[in-house]
Chain A
Amino acid sequence: METIVSVKPLLAVLVTLFVIPILVSSSSKPNVRESWIFIAGTIKLLLVLSMLPVILEGKQIVLTLFEIAPGAAIAFRVDGLGMLFAIVAASLYLVTSVYSIGYMRGLDEHGQTRFVSFFALAISATIGAAFSANLMTLYLFYEVLSLATYPLVTHHQDANSRLSGRRYLTFILGTSIGLVLPAMIYCYSVTGTLEFSTAGIFAAGELSKPAATVLLLMFVFGFAKAGIMPFHTWLPAAMVAPTPVSALLHAVAVVKVGVFSIVRIITGIFGVELLSEFNLGVMVMTIASVTILVSSCIALSQDELKRRLAFSTISQLSYIVFGVALLTPQGLLGGVIHIAMHAFGKITLFFCAGAIFVATGKKYISQMSGLGKKMPFTFAAFFIGALGVIGLPPSGGFYSKWNLILGTLEAQQTIFMLVLLLSSFLNAFYFLPIIYKGFFGKSEEEGDGPVKIQEANLCLLIPLMFTAFISIVLFFYPTVFVKLINIGLGLL
């Protein structure tokens, strides 16, 4: 495969890192600070997009920074999968920064400079993870992301966020140090390399089936950001964070980095062939299915909107793992593209939750009946986002779910197809009532008079409309992403 050496991936990572000192120094001038964020975000997105044509031509962009040990360098390699993820993360960062301006100012939060600085650091780490050429680099950015998100999760600095922060770190750091690190070092000591390659890094016979099983389990559970049960409890806990954090990081960046890592492990470290030879896909699929079903059920019982979304996220993440674990082209496509589809859908939902909170101060679903009349745009967007998550047209989510189901058929796993269908049903069950109540329910305080539209401010409204719109667009034009995935997985 043709490779091009370029510093663009590095720049794309660093641009939001270098803006941090500027942010800190301009902390007393919020407008200047926010414009810098915007500039950095734009440059970042442009840098990412500028690499897109090259990738679509089937080339790869590589950059080796530091050779730590033979086969384990700190290096970037931009391929289809990474590109897909980077586009999603960079574009949503831009949207979210607009949204967070509105949100943070709307609530007059404290420590805004700290907030935006760590936000920028987190997004740098996310892009770094997307462009990682090997497992070591991926692990590096994974850890940086974990630590950078901690101050965001605990932003309120009260007793509640302290507990959540503690749980967050216990799960994320505990698993990554306790499971991923040894597994990674074991891989390195066996093979002498950690470079991702579609054929896997293990030569034939290097790995026995029990060893492979243990390693795979260590990785799947170890990347706890993916929220595979039972290592999922940090996610609902982390919902104490301000909504932009929940939106970008817990629906998009953090959890997706976890899933993305698992995708990389399955496709780049083990390789599809090795896993299907050992028939390990079914094991991962089973784990994922359990997570999907259980968390959907839990979501049903949640009254706080953000928590319901969090559980929904857990189940949706497992879709991705599930799809990749199918180990068939359709399944892989469906799983990976769900990264993008779910990202746009879920971020819309979170934006809506935040907008509702800012505009009305309401957090619980039971308080929201009739709210759709006051906030029609928000609820419309919510509807579209929910469609995407459930997997119904005309939203992008349909495309990925369709492919997943085809994948199960392709792999002749009918039981698992039933799981998918059942869970879609559950998804619908916990989302649609909100919308129904919102539009047609009766709110407590309102009288009979004409309903006054009382939307949140524009900074909040525009982003959520935008993401909802993209979600629909993706239903009609998923081709770029599909192509990227096919290039990335070598399926062409």
Chain B
Amino acid sequence: MRVLAFIIVCLTGALLLYGTGEFPDWGDPQSPASVHLSNVYIEKALEQTQVPNLVTAVLADYRGFDTMFETAVVFCAGLACFLLLRDFREKKERYYRHTPTGVILHVKDSKKIIKVGKEFAHMDKNWVPSDLIIKSVCRILIPFIQIYALYVVAHGDFSPGGGFQGGVIFGSSLILLAISYDLKTLVRRIKEKVLGIWAAVGVLIYVGIAAICMPMGGNFLDYSVLAPLVWDPHHVRALGMLGVEIGVGIAVTAVMAIIYINIVSEGRHEEGL
């Protein structure tokens, strides 16, 4: 296998290197890629879309159709992880911790349910005592991370960032919550159903904004026809982009959380990192 792999890899490498022979120099401002389309984008985008971040302008407007499917891909991944791993069966073995004494109970028969409350708490198999410092630091950090995520989404028009990055950061804050406390805390706060619905709703916001353009008389995704609906018709394209970015953000957040929860708990949503 290794020999075969080596041969294939060398062949591919040789082919690719052969292809680089006639490449324009790296960073050459006159290379076809930097001249043909990009100039149009650079020179016209601000005027046409009122968005100074060219990447966002191209991403959410000129090639917004790509981005829509990109979001669909993310949604798909979340759904796939859910379908692959989610296991609704209750686990047979359970561990409980008697809070006052610290004694750990191992219940093998799932029918005996110990009431979780003041005295007893659910516990993971590989449980580690929660660290107060980590908990507190994360508790303080998470809101800031989330605000930063919102900033990244909202400010995507002017600075690096956008719905996807913001969504990932927001998702990470949720994951951080799960890691610093435990998975159950996250699952208790944000129900699986909510995540599932928000993932779809996020994409739906995108597709919905794009699709509304059709009955309004424009082509699919043509934000300009939405002018009558918004308060600032001059910036209608920028607003449209903001709208879809928010959708992307929601979808990505939910999907990141779904993927993490399912992988780390093998789909049982009970215990994990």
Direct A–B touching, Cβ under 8 Å? no
- Listed in ascending order, the chain B residues whose CB lies under 8 Å from chain A are none
- Listed in ascending order, the chain A residues whose CB lies under 8 Å from chain B are none
